[in-house]
Amino acid sequence: MKFGYTLENFDVNLNPENLIDTVKLLELSGFESVWTVDHIMQPKGGHIPQYDKISEVIVTLSFLGGKTNKIKLGVSALVLPIRNPILLAKQLATLDYLTNGRMLIVFVGGWNEGEFKFLGKDFKNRGKIFDEYIQIVKTLWMGKSDFDGSFYQFKNASFKPIRDDLKNKPILIGGYVKSAIERAIHYGDGWHPGAMTGKEMEETIEPFRNQIGKKSFQLSVHSFISKNTDIEKFVNEYAEHGISRIIFDTTRTDIPPIERKDFLIKLCDFVKNY
């Protein structure tokens, strides 16, 4: 089992010192990865008001990459259809290059229609846009120079530097609906929902086993954990159902901001001894 942790790149605990202290503690404790939460600009007081104050994910990870040595750096999950896919592919490839392969990524289609409107993006057709944008990212990361799509076309393009093994970087897809799982199977390398138990994930993915076939396919989860959770039981439930990574999130449960550091130390002790 691999363990990740959701950084508070948002709300009251967002400050450079807290981010640095947290990521260094996680690295020393044996966590595989740290993860940022992605929003750019949402309507005030929206569905999750904590995200009214939030830092940009790739800039944040780049900042933290320079403060760490080995912990991996991810986004759970990055809203792909609201971005320029070529620029995004470049940003992530550069992060991967400068951190010697520590970049991880989960892409998602997005749910915040107001955010799409602010950025001038097409919310209604985000599924079709999502599919093409994933293909663009994969094309560039594989070192190919041509692409002919509905939204973007390029020929004889130069896209360097990239690490030689970037073409093998797993791309995980987030979301709960059938189309998200089908997209993960067709274009990605794994499925990464949020707030589902291991049993729920296994039951949801079971009808798609024939489509997956012998393909290497990861099951990863972004899971919210409360202060009275039996951590060992919590982790074992996921392990029993074939989930290979848990990203702990303490920010949307009953753990108040001032208590999250103490709970993190408890998590770190568990990971050290797992």
Predicted confidence at residue 122, as pLDDT, reads 97
Q: What is the pLDDT of residue 204?
A: 97
Residue type, 91: Q
Q: Residue 137 in contact with residue 83, Cβ under 8 Å?
A: no
**pLDDT for residue 48:** 85
Give the whole-number percent of the chain exceeding pLDDT 90: 96
Each residue of 223-252: pLDDT tens digit?
A: 999 999 999 999 999 999 999 999 999 998
Task: Determine the pLDDT at residue 107.
Answer: 98
Residue among 48, 133, 144, 34 at smallest CA distance from 83 = 133
Per-residue pLDDT, averaged over 161-182, amounts to 95
What is the Cα gyration radius of the chain?
18
Average pLDDT over residues 260-266: 96
- Kindly state the average pLDDT of the residues 21-31: 98
CA distance 224 to 97: 31
Q: With contact defined as beta carbons under 8 Å apart, do 22 and 264 qualify?
A: yes
pTM, rounded to two decimals? 0.95
Give counts: helices (H), strands (E), the chain: 10, 11
Q: What is the pLDDT of residues 40-66, one digit of tens each?
A: 999 988 788 889 999 999 999 999 999
What is the residue whose two structure tokens read 């997005």?
110
Neighbours of 253 (CB within 10 A): 14
- Output the CA angle 20-48-264, nearest 5 degrees: 35
* Res 5 pLDDT > 90: yes
pLDDT, tens digit (0-9, with 9 covering 90-100), for 132-167: 999 999 999 999 999 999 999 999 999 999 999 999
Q: Which residues contact 19 (CB under 8 A, 6 or more apart)?
A: 7, 8, 9, 60, 63, 64
Domains of the chain as residue ranges with CATH? 2-273 (3.20.20.30)
What confidence category does residue 116 fall into, taking pLDDT thresholds of 50, 70 and 90? very high
Give yes or no for residue 117 having a pLDDT over 90: yes
185 has pLDDT over 90: yes
